[in-house]
Structure 1
Amino acid sequence: MSTHATENSANGSATSSADTRIHNIGYRSYDGPRLGRAAARRALFSQSLRGAYGLGRSAKSKVLPMLLFAVMCVPALVVVAVAVFTKAPKLVMEYTQYAIFLHMVIAIFVAAQAPQSVSRDLRFRTVPLYFARPIERVDYVLAKFAAMSSALFILTASPLLILWIGSLLAKMDFADQTEMFGQGLVSVALLSLLFGGLGLVMAALTPRRGFGVAAVIATLVISYGAVTTLQGIAYGTDNISAVKWIGLFSPITLIGGVQAAFLGAPTSFPGGEGAAPGAAVGAIYLLVVLALIAGSYGVLMRRYRKVGL
């Protein structure tokens, strides 16, 4: 019995040794440079900014953002063409009026791209993978906030650049046009930070893209409709002083109030210049805008303290 057992054990060991293989699957240690958090933050910013316009994604993903960009620029081209061919002394639309006039296009862009930027990471639970790298929550929030704001600034500043170039082609005064162009850039910079922050907050509250889109539309569009309706009622009942205060409750009218108070823009409030915010009320408008931008960043930081755990 012991002889057979010894033979079977020897045969089993021989068979096991014969079947053993060592497979080299190509793992090698990394000896290159380790770029750290700054490079990771820049890469996330670049990827998010490109993604806002569908770059690096499917052809279907490029259709809506590129279409909205074209819709933003076409009116500027028409204004420039009219000014050049009629030799008009000034543009038919102020630089500071342009984004307010096309605010619906901007709101649709935010509603489409803010959920794309953050909701997919939440839905597919990829956020912890970001934090497994040399990147922290503050880096993620900063990159996403900066990318969304930059995408909006490109969307809103490009038509203003077209208007400025067209005004020079129409031989309008260089100094005046450059000053107004600068005022327009300040206005759309504030708008981009405000809309970008609010859009990301609404989108980050839910992993479902549809809910994020609805939340952004409600924040940017429905609030504007409600505020303008209330302003119209206040103006119709001769309560002119209330018009400027009601404007504090909508992102779009907030930007309109700031630029009317400090950037020489014509007001779109009912009642015209009589209802426009002065310097004192305009300062309150500006403080509210800055508080909303800072508050959006704070809410995003709080949200991502929990989501990656």
Structure 2
Amino acid sequence: MSSPSDRPSGVIHDLGYRPYRGRRLGERAVAWSFFRTGLRNTYGLGRSARSKALPMILLGLMLLPALILVGVLVQAGRVLDLGEQIVPYSTYPLTTQLLISVFVAAQAPALISRDLRFRTITLYLSRPMRRSAYVLVRLASLTVATFVLIVAPLLLMYVGGLLADLPPARETGRFLAAVAGAALLAACLAGLAAVVSALTIRRGLAVAAVIVVLLVSYAVVSAIQGISQEAGHAVVGQVAGIFSPYTLVNGVQVFLFGVPEATATPPEGTAMGLLYVGALVLTVLGSIAALLARYRRVQP
């Protein structure tokens, strides 16, 4: 017969644990939270100071020339007889394309390649979110972040133009056309950068590849356009313009909104303008299709 000391001494406590019976949020809520997190991460918000350094420096460098232009326009506009913006809205992104390209090249791998490298995508897909939603949300975060970078100095220039007593109706129309162009450029750059970043899990390689795709393509296209203009073969330069996102979007703006041209051979005529629009649509939709195809092969 066992003694009292041999009996189990454990005690079961009823702590009152109960399963969650509230309303569970679905794919839409997960996607929205995922989008906000991705957008914040592109600018380092909520992360370390090291993560904030590059995007904030690039944003400041994007705003600095616009601030100088606004200062000259407001302070010396009447003395210099300046009746419009010193640098047109549509030309500013091409002027600062190096900063834009570096931003996209740095942030696209952070959003795309990192999930593939550390296999965190398996955690994301375990939630009620489809692969297609994951791709679209990641791409939307990068697109909006790039759009903010491009449109911020344009907004500063617009406010400066109003302070300098430029015609409000004219400035508003030009600014809205520039905003539309900024959105198209952001979508084009984000799509291309995301596709390149999805092809490798090495961030450094992805950064270099994106910079090559964006900057080298512009350099080659600009050289071809300059040579074709000098040789009297403008059509060759116009066709070459569709092979760089910067010249492509500027050509679409020239065709749709009549903004000042920023390339040597902008599209002329309806046929060439429609070719530019079709190439832009194909670039954006093709990038989305390529990303979806890439992530179909990713094992959860």
TM-score (norm 1): 0.89
* 1:304 partner amino acid: Y
Cα distance in 1, alignment partners of residues 9 and 133 from structure 2: 50
Show the counterpart of 1:72. 62
Show the counterpart of 1:117. 111
Specify whether residues 27 and 196 from structure 1 end up closer, same or farther in structure 2 by C-alpha distance, changes over 3 A only: farther
1:308 aligns with 2:299: yes
Cα distance in 1, alignment partners of residues 250 and 263 from structure 2: 9
Structure-to-structure mapping, 1:70-219, within 5 angstroms: 70-87=60-77, 88-219=82-213
Cα distance in 1, alignment partners of residues 155 and 14 from structure 2: 58
8 Å CA contact 2:225, 2:237 repeated in 1: yes
Show the counterpart of 1:3. none
8 Å CA contact 1:231, 1:246 repeated in 2: yes
DSSP 3-state at the match of 2:70: helix
Show the counterpart of 1:224. 218
* 1:100 partner amino acid: L
DSSP 3-state at the match of 1:164: helix
1:282 aligns with 2:273: yes
Aligned pair count?
295
* 2:120 partner amino acid: T
After superposition, give the CA deviation of every residue in 1:142-194 in whole Å (9 maximum; x if it has no partner). Answer: 11111111101111111111111111101111100000001101110100111
1:36 aligns with 2:26: yes
Specify whether residues 25 and 69 from structure 1 end up closer, same or farther in structure 2 by C-alpha distance, changes over 3 A only: farther
Q: C-alpha displacement at 1:20, in angstroms? A: 6.6
Cα distance in 1, alignment partners of residues 38 and 299 from structure 2: 19
8 Å CA contact 1:257, 1:277 repeated in 2: no
Cα distance in 2, alignment partners of residues 48 and 67 from structure 1: 19
* 1:69 partner amino acid: L
* 1:292 partner amino acid: T
Among candidates 266, 286, 290, match of residue 299 of structure 1: 290
Cα distance in 2, alignment partners of residues 47 and 106 from structure 1: 21
Specify whether residues 80 and 207 from structure 1 end up closer, same or farther in structure 2 by C-alpha distance, changes over 3 A only: same
8 Å CA contact 1:206, 1:212 repeated in 2: yes
DSSP 3-state at the match of 2:242: helix
Q: C-alpha displacement at 1:22, in angstroms? A: 6.8
Name the Cα RMSD after superposition.
2.1
Cα distance in 2, alignment partners of residues 196 and 66 from structure 1: 18
**Which one has a larger percent helix, Structure 1 or Structure 2?**
1
DSSP 3-state at the match of 1:307: coil
Q: C-alpha displacement at 1:18, in angstroms? A: 4.2
Specify whether residues 217 and 18 from structure 1 end up closer, same or farther in structure 2 by C-alpha distance, changes over 3 A only: same
Cα distance in 2, alignment partners of residues 194 and 252 from structure 1: 9
Cα distance in 2, alignment partners of residues 19 and 198 from structure 1: 66
Q: C-alpha displacement at 1:128, in angstroms? A: 1.3
Show the counterpart of 1:254. 248
Among candidates 35, 51, 58, match of residue 61 of structure 1: 51
DSSP 3-state at the match of 1:266: coil
After superposition, give the CA deviation of every residue in 1:233-292 in whole Å (9 maximum; x if it has no partner). Answer: 323333222111111111111112111222222223336xxx543332011111111111
Structure 2: any 5+ residue segments left out of the alignment? none
Cα distance in 2, alignment partners of residues 176 and 201 from structure 1: 38
